[in-house]
Structures are given as structure tokens and as C-alpha cells.
Structure 1
């Protein structure tokens, strides 16, 4: 019975999200009300808010699974692999696989969604909260699995999360400018390798 309830909740969650994203992409985030989303998803406003407490969550929840991704990578790294090396390899793998979280995915809906987050102040602000959550999770992972002192772990996590965001936004902007993911790929790899090399120099002996 519990499994059935969970599946029903997941279907409702997905239906509300899909209805919201479709409306936002068609009309613009600020031009669509929560009531319009509820009507399109065929749920009450009360139900909608039970799943998504604020309007911005209808969009940025798509990134929620990635909030602790860097921390998971650090915790799951093979023995003998430094956290920074594991994160570098993970990002390069994401570029190769066209993972949307790297910004290197030119599927039209993903491009439009990323552009909307980037250009809508309320969504951008909400996304920053996910970055802060990512920093906290990564800080804990560095302390617990690599014995990194608290302040060093916080500083390293801040730089790593900010670097990931910058690289992602650069790739997204390049695709918005007309490049295909295939055309952008070599430069995206070069940029990532350069960024992680700089981080490696600054964090040498620490992470």
C-alpha cells in the first residue's frame, strides 16, 4: 500500500512539474501564476503547494538531485584517488555524456529551461540556494572522507561548486549563441581542464 501511495505521489509530482515547465517555457516564468499551473495540472492550489512550497521550486527542483552530487562523488571515489581528481574526472565524464548539469546539452527543452533559470532573477536566486546546499554537503564529505580541516574544506567546497557553476553557464551561453554541443565539446573540455588545473595548484596538498 505504501508503494502505491508513493507511486501516486511521484506521478502527481511529475504531472505538476511538467505542466508548469510547459507553461513557463511558452509564456515566461513571471507571466504564469500558480493558479494557472494548478489548473493546467488539474490539481488544487493547496495540492500544488504541498508538493512545491514556492513557485520557483516548480523549476529548480529539476536540479535538486544534483545538490549533493559532488559530495557523492567524493564519498564514492576509489581508494588512492584524491577528491579533486575524482571531481575533475566526473565533470569531464559529464561533458562526454552531454549531462545537462554541465551545460553541454543542446536538446531544445533543456536549453530553454537553462536559459530561463539563468535569465529569471527569482529562479537564479533559488538556484543559488542549491549551490549553498552543494557547498555544505561537499564540505562534510571532504572532512569525513579526506580528513580536510573545517575551514580548508569550506574554502575548497566554495571554489569547487563555483567553478562547476561557471563552467556550466559558459557552456550554456555558448550553445545559446548557436554552437552545437558537438562543436562546443573540445573547448568545454579545455576550459574544464584549465579550471581544475588552477584549482589543483591552489589546493595542492590540501584536497
Structure 2
């Protein structure tokens, strides 16, 4: 019988995530079961699913963080700051911090390699992007200071940012130097926001 620890709280969630990530990166996502993750983390499978309703979310666990950043970029921007400028500031801040959501966090290559090798993870990543797009569109629709095309901007921004992120991931997987990848990431973000400013936001 596996030993079981406390079922709730952020420490339990963090422990489960840490164990799952280690196992997935070592052995591949599709070969590791939730039962194995639970046993290694010292909890029950029920507890794992309480914190992570889907197996894929054990590894792709940044959706809430991403949604919060997008929401803040729209809702918490200064009165004289446009939506596109705020989204740009957010994207470049993530880049400068080498945040996990920029794809440039140190040691990201094994993570990206694991995701790319699993059709289930790739499919879940696409679902998350779709959910984020809808959430961003909803926030823009309800923003009285934004008079552009909310669904179109949300679609173009999420698709564009995802494209930049995927290219960054592929270059890291290929073993290219991190600084060179970061420079390319920055240049592509610049082109993305130039394009958005030219055709989507009035």
C-alpha cells in the first residue's frame, strides 16, 4: 500500500507536480501512470486528480498563471495604456525574466522534448491555447476602453505568441545556445507586435 500524506493545500500540489515532472522527463509522459505518480508523491490517485483533473495537467500546469497574466494585462493597465502596449509589456517582461511562459527558463529543453513526443500533451496544449484565446476575447469585449475587434485581436495574439513559443522550443530542443534563442525570440516578438499594431488594433 502506498503511504499517503495530507490531501490538500499548495504544498501537496507542488509535491505532486514536482514528482510527476521528474517521472515524465525521465521516462516519457505516455509510459508513466497516475498511480505511479501518486505512489512516488505519497498520496492517493484520488488526491492527484483532486489537484490535477487531467493527467496532461500534471505537466502542463501553467494555464492558471497564463490566464492571470492576460487578465491583468487587460484589466490592470494604466488608463493611458492601450491593450496592445500592455500585452507587449507583458510578453517582453516574461522574456527578460526568462519566465517559464516565455519558453526560455533554464532547463526547458527536456520539458519541450517530452511535450513534443506525446500527442496527448500536444493536443492538450492546443486546448489550453484555445481556452486562453476565449478568455482574452471575453476580457477585451468587456473593456470599455477597447474599441477594436476583440475576437480577432485575441486570436491573432494567442496564435502569434504560440508560434514564437514553438519556434523557441524547437531551437532549444535542437541544442542551440540559449542567448541566441532569446535574441531570436525577442526579434520575433517585435515582428508580432508590429504586425498586430499595423492591422488589428486601431
Please indicate the TM-score interval, normalised by the length of the shorter structure. 0.7 to 0.9
Q: In the TM superposition, what whole-angstrom CA distance separates every residue of 1:159-194 from its partner, at most 9, and x where no partner exists?
A: 111111111111121122222222222222111111
Q: Is the 2:152–2:200 Cα contact (8 Å) retained in structure 1?
A: no
In structure 2, the partner of 1:78 is 78
In structure 1, the partner of 2:186 is 189
Give the CA RMSD over aligned residues: 2.0
Equivalences, count = 196
Q: What is the alpha-carbon distance in structure 1 between the residues aligned to residue 10 and residue 183 of structure 2?
A: 38
Q: What is the alpha-carbon distance in structure 1 between the residues aligned to residue 201 and residue 48 of structure 2?
A: 48
In structure 2, the partner of 1:33 is 33
In structure 2, the partner of 1:55 is 55
Select which of 138, 141, 145 maps to 2:139: 141
Which fold has the larger relative contact order, with Cα–Cα distance below 8 Å and residues 6 or more apart in sequence? 1
Q: What is the alpha-carbon distance in structure 1 between the residues aligned to residue 124 and residue 195 of structure 2?
A: 28
- Please state which structure has a larger fraction of its residues in helix: 1
- Structure 2 residues not aligned, in runs of 5+: 1-5
- Structure 1 residues not aligned, in runs of 5+: 1-5
Q: Is the 1:135–1:161 Cα contact (8 Å) retained in structure 2?
A: yes
The answer to whether residue 164 in structure 2 is matched with residue 163 in structure 1 is no
Q: Is the 2:69–2:90 Cα contact (8 Å) retained in structure 1?
A: no
Residue 133 of structure 1 deviates from its aligned partner by 2.1
TM-score w.r.t. length of structure 1: 0.86
Change (3 A) 1:91 1:147: closer
Change (3 A) 1:12 1:183: same
Q: What is the alpha-carbon distance in structure 2 between the residues aligned to residue 172 and residue 45 of structure 1?
A: 31
TM-score w.r.t. length of structure 2: 0.88
Residue 8 of structure 1 deviates from its aligned partner by 5.0
1:1-207 matches, cutoff 5 A: 9-105=9-105, 107-108=106-107, 110-145=108-143, 146-148=145-147, 152-205=149-202
Q: Is the 2:112–2:173 Cα contact (8 Å) retained in structure 1?
A: no
